[in-house]
Amino acid sequence: MSEMAHRCRFALCDNISVIKERRGGRGGNVVVSLLSNTPRSVDKSASEGRADANVNGGRYKARLMANGSTQQLGVDCDDTFSLVVKPATIRTVLSLALSRNWPIHQLDVKNAFLNGDLSETVMPYELVSHQVDVTHPYLLQRIISSLHKEFDMTDLGALNYFLGISVTRDSKGMFLYQKKYALQLLNRAHMTNCNPTRTPVDTESKLGSDGDPVSDPSLYHIQQVCLHMHDPREPHFAALKRVLRYIRGTLDFGLQLYTSSTGSLVAYSDADWDGCPTTRLSTSGYCVFLGDNILLWSSKRQHTLSRSSVEAEYKGVSNAVAEMAWLHNLLRELHTRLFSATLVYCDNVRAIYLTANPVHHQRTKHIEIDIHFVRDMVARGHVRVLHVPSRYQYVDIFTKGLPSALFEEFRTSLSVRPSPTQTAGEC
């Protein structure tokens, strides 16, 4: 048995022993009975090893996985659910902790259990790390002690690695980066030593369906390239390799979160009208800042055709406002007040005019819902849509290829930069 297999088996046995302990010695055959008695919903099982960078020598966990693709709604399943938190929520909590100078502690729970008797067979799963933020060290220790009484957990100390993201903290704030994951991508593509490039997309990149088919389509999971996963062609493969070459040149880059005020939300919205040469669909892009910290961003193909650039831009503004409304509610739940209306910057003057014009023209009826949604937010004073010159429209980086100098300037404006240790070394 290989060392990796031995570690994974040991981790799986550790999880089963925790289940048995929590069930008062009655859980020894939980996994065996699960795999033997429910062939409809469990087709495959495997143990997955994961080495955590925050533990010396690597720390392995086991996760029992099942293929539920044969389940039938109403027959052997009623609901589906996911406990995966939105990345924007994590960045919001971290930004609030930084603004209030809170310590951020990391606890790792071995297993989580539902309280109550279930008639259904359920899978044991790993609950990933929690962050507890408090100002007073004594209160922090009391919370940790209370959690220890309820769960079998490990105290990992100050936050330094979670969900595949490495974290460093200094006087300026917090730096998040994924160098380990980037190296795994490059290694899988056999491009660890490739020549880097300054931008991920060239200025003329408009991928269509032309070109010769490629023999191995298994790597197509990146932005524009993933749209052609069903039938990848050589131009798509070349675009993918360019993205990986860009990753190779930015291994030490990450997202900088600053210790800044949290009293205002600012968004930038843009659209690339008629950008797809095959479907003629437009691409929307937006990003949202809380103070100096970028919390969320998006680059997504619009679902319906836009008959004008104004319509495409307005759909983008509507998407940005919807996300900001969600973020506003999240901040309210976290007891954080906003002291001013949310600002949305757009570089299309006619789209901005539609947000405040009470007259509903015949030519805009097909986007009536988007218009009324944004206009209602503007009328209530929750949102202001303002013009920004294209020279300062940062979200162009999400919708189109840019010259390298402008791309690097916008990237810095979005708080993506080299790690502080690398910058200090260059100085």
| The predicted structure's pLDDT at residue 92 | 95
Give the pLDDT band of residue 269 (cuts 50, 70, 90).
Answer: very high
Is 41:70 a contact under the CB 8 Å cutoff?
yes
How far apart CA 308 and CA 198 sit, in angstroms, is: 32
Q: Which two tokens stand for residue 43?
A: 């087709």
How far apart CA 309 and CA 302 sit, in angstroms, is: 13
Burial class (CB in 10 A: 0-12, 13-18, 19+), 426: exposed
The least confident of 99-103, 204-208, 234-238, 404-408 is: 204-208
418/84: higher pLDDT: 418
Q: Could you give the count of Cα atoms lying within 13 Å of 269 in the half-sphere of its Cβ?
A: 31
pLDDT at 33 over 50: no
The most confident of 132-136, 268-272, 361-365, by mean pLDDT: 268-272
Q: Which two tokens stand for residue 248?
A: 């190779």
| The predicted structure's pLDDT at residue 307 | 82
| The predicted structure's pLDDT at residue 225 | 57
How far apart CA 421 and CA 379 sit, in angstroms, is: 47
pLDDT tens readout for residues 390-416: 899 999 999 888 999 999 999 999 999
77/65: higher pLDDT: 77
How far apart CA 372 and CA 375 sit, in angstroms, is: 5
| The predicted structure's pLDDT at residue 45 | 35
The most confident of 33-47, 90-104, 201-215, by mean pLDDT: 90-104
| The predicted structure's pLDDT at residue 37 | 40
Q: Is the pTM of this model over 0.75?
A: no
Beta-carbon count within 10 A of 367 CB: 20
Query: Mean of the pLDDT values across residues 116-143?
Result: 57
Bridge-based pairing of strands 165-169 and 173-177 is: antiparallel
Kindly report the CA angle at 86 between 83 and 87, in degrees rounded to 5?
130
The least confident of 52-56, 240-244, 392-396 is: 52-56
How far apart CA 350 and CA 314 sit, in angstroms, is: 9
Residue 109's nearest CA partner among 152, 49, 165, 45 is 152
How far apart CA 243 and CA 248 sit, in angstroms, is: 9
Give the pLDDT band of residue 118 (cuts 50, 70, 90).
Answer: low
Q: How far is CA 367 from CA 19, 125, 282, 355, 363, in A?
A: 54, 44, 15, 12, 9
Beta bridge partners of 177: 166
| The predicted structure's pLDDT at residue 63 | 55
Q: How far is CA 370 from CA 1, 73, 281, 312, 407, in A?
A: 59, 33, 17, 11, 30
pLDDT at 247 over 50: yes
Residue 129 parent element (H or E)? strand 127-133
Task: Kindly report the average pLDDT of the chain as a whole number.
Answer: 76
Is 177:166 a contact under the CB 8 Å cutoff?
yes
Q: Which two tokens stand for residue 332?
A: 């309210």
The least confident of 68-77, 79-88, 173-182, 416-425 is: 68-77
pLDDT at 291 over 80: yes
Strand order from edge to edge, sheet including 253-258? 161-162, 165-169, 173-177, 253-258, 416-418
Is 215:234 a contact under the CB 8 Å cutoff?
no
pLDDT at 311 over 80: yes
82/294: higher pLDDT: 294
CA dihedral 184, 186, 190, 195 (to 10 degrees): -150
Domains and CATH numbers, the chain: 3-163 (no CATH), 179-248 (no CATH), 260-393 (3.30.420.10)
Give the pLDDT band of residue 35 (cuts 50, 70, 90).
Answer: very low
pLDDT tens readout for residues 201-215: 887 766 555 655 655
The least confident of 57-61, 177-181, 182-186, 187-191 is: 57-61
How far apart CA 328 and CA 332 sit, in angstroms, is: 6
Query: Mean of the pLDDT values across residues 318-326?
Result: 92
Q: Which two tokens stand for residue 182?
A: 């980037």
Is 137:105 a contact under the CB 8 Å cutoff?
no
Place of tokens 């831009």: 313
| The predicted structure's pLDDT at residue 421 | 76
| The predicted structure's pLDDT at residue 155 | 83
42/240: higher pLDDT: 240
| The predicted structure's pLDDT at residue 97 | 92
| The predicted structure's pLDDT at residue 126 | 42
pLDDT at 358 over 90: no
